[in-house]
Amino acid sequence: MARGVDGVRLALDSKESKVSTRQRTQDADSVRAIEAGAEGVRTLDRGQRVRLGDQLYGQIFDRIASGDLNVGDKLPSEHEICEQFGVSRPVVREALLRLRADGLVSAYQGLGTFVIHQPAPRLKTFGDVQNVGAYLRAQEVRVALEGDAARLAALRRTDEQLKKIVEAHETFAHGLAQGQVSAEADLAFHASIAEASGNDFFLGVLETIHESIHGFMRLSLNLTRTGSRQRAERVMDEHASILAAIREQDGERARTAMQFHLGQARYRLVDRDRD
């Protein structure tokens, strides 16, 4: 049974060296949950283009998203995960560090690593969850890259380029209002801003990670399309803030607005409380 974040914190105060029978039972349940999710794919595929760390991240993310591991549940030890998936300890540590960075798990000295947040359950219905590790790594690149692209677009854009950004924004807004928004419409908005930066390298770098960006947008927009009205309104407000800063040629505000939007998109994917 999931104990919740408060339960984990209470354990920090009360537990020192002995592990209770109840904890051992819970640990075993968590191990079985990981093993059940890895059935048939226990050894990660080294022939795939996806890095082993991303594959392992995706496996554990999948267990958390599906509810096999709930908030308060303890993950197996590094050694146990190594054995289950046939990978080295550095691969396991990479996956766990990134799960921590994304706010899904937290490590407590002397106790282990526990789930502290879960994505929206319906994320599992959209498929492609196994690749979410690569998608989130690409999102980290986008925060830095597109933030500066937006800043330069605000400073350099022509009237014609601004018109293109406005049209892309309106197309995206119309699709979102109709519940038919596509990753292509979202990409068009971001690409029009990168183009307006006046530096072709921004578009070139985005093209190299296009597959991961498209996958991230597809998952994120599916969650938005099937989520609350407030979630969709937040996405539109973020896009509108970026557009306003570029229209007013305020470079620093455009960069901040873009980085905020991309950061919020990341959090909305991994945390159901932001649904």
Taking only the tens place, the pLDDT of each residue in 43-81 is 555 545 557 888 898 889 888 988 899 999 999 999 999
pLDDT score of 30: 53
Is there a contact between 226 and 122 (Cβ–Cβ < 8 Å)?
yes
Is there a contact between 216 and 269 (Cβ–Cβ < 8 Å)?
yes
The answer on pLDDT for 2 being more than 80 is no
At 250, list the tokens. 């305020």
Q: What's the mean pLDDT in 235-247?
A: 97
The answer on pLDDT for 124 being more than 60 is yes
- The better pLDDT of the pair 124, 266 is held by 266
pLDDT category at 243 given cuts 50, 70, 90 is very high
pLDDT category at 261 given cuts 50, 70, 90 is very high
Domains and CATH numbers, the chain: 48-118 (1.10.10.10), 122-270 (1.20.120.530)
Distance CA 187, CA 206 (A): 10
